[in-house]
Amino acid sequence: MKIISTLLLTAFVALARADKKYPRGYVRSVDANTTEIKLLSITDAMLDATPDDVDWADNLTPIKDQGNCGSCWAFSSVSTAESALYMGGHFKEPTEISTEELVDCVKGDGCRGGDITDGIDYLKKHGTALASDYPDTSSDARPAHKSSCKIKEMDVMKKIKGRKFAVPECSRGDCSDSDEEALAAALAHHGPIAICVNSEGWENYEGGVMKRKCGAKANKIDHCVQLVGYSKTASEPYWKIRNSWADDWGEDGFIRIPYGQGNKCCVACEALIIEVEDA
């Protein structure tokens, strides 16, 4: 009887996974001049002081679900802002801010896709509303969803100071030489990072360090997520990434991809740290 129950449960999970959609939503910004974005300075001293293992999981809000909306860029921007605001002393505990604000208010985006450069720039200019004040309504929407912006009705926190590339951006061609060691140093010394990646095959990921092919071609970037950790000492060194496909996907909402194997999934192609004002 136990075997039958296990088989039924396995079949149910497989059917649910087959039925579920895994939206992305990365659309490279046509407005942001990325040549104007400053590059974080990674010194030799920082590289030498970078630990072999980092995990910022205790500095995160709960895993979110972008649903049927192509709003990965908003979730990546907001999740990284949440971590930066908490680690910068603006919240006593990790606190959720509004993704819906970006979906509704960043011109031309909504559920049709966007870029973390635009998302973070919006938060800097207009401020951040709490998720409790401006809750998510777009996760069940169709890709063309676009709501009216309600931010004028909200109290906002204007504490985002700016953003920098953690490592030089690779926006075209083969990016397999991107500097993963510098990215690890940026993550270790500055906290979680907003990244846009090639998520090929991620919908089939169930756990462990991903084995499926996931290349480092800039033109394959299709999804934005949050880089939250790495391990160089594991039997299979890995990057730990927070996704926005709910906590029943992957490893409770996270994925691990190979570290130091030619910039797998373009993990170091577009990576932005968020700077906040002093508390």
Q: Which of 105, 214, 224, 243 is catalytic?
A: 243
What would the pLDDT profile of 22-38 be if each residue is shown by its tens digit?
Answer: 999 999 987 655 667 89
| Amino acid sitting at position 122 | Y
Residue 65 contacts residue 139 (beta carbons within 8 Å) = yes
Structure tokens at 250: 């992957």
The token pair at 217 is 């071609």
Report which of 276, 234, 228, 238 is spatially closest to residue 260, judged by C-alpha positions: 238
Q: Per the residue annotation, which of 223, 263, 265, 269 is the catalytic one? A: 223
Phi and psi dihedrals of 90, rounded to 5?
Answer: -85, -20
Q: Is the pLDDT of residue 156 over 90?
A: no
Q: For the chain, give the number of residues.
A: 279
State the pLDDT at residue 21: 74
Q: Helix (H, G, I), strand (E, B), or coil: what is residue 103?
A: helix
Bridge partners, residue 255, by sequence: 241
Catalytic status, residue 90: no
Res 20: pLDDT: 67
* Per-residue model confidence (pLDDT) at position 11: 34
* Annotated active-site residue in 69, 72, 196, 266: 72
Q: Is 72 a catalytic residue?
A: yes
pLDDT tens sequence across 167-224: 999 999 999 999 999 999 999 999 999 999 999 999 999 999 999 989 999 999 999 9
Residue that has been written with the tokens 């932005």 in this structure: 272
**Residue 105 annotated to the active site:** no
pLDDT at 1: 42
Question: Angle at which helices 72-87 and 116-126 pack, to 10 degrees?
Answer: 50
pLDDT digits (tens, 9 = 90+) for 87-129: 999 999 999 999 999 999 997 667 989 999 999 999 999 999 9
Q: Structure pTM? A: 0.91
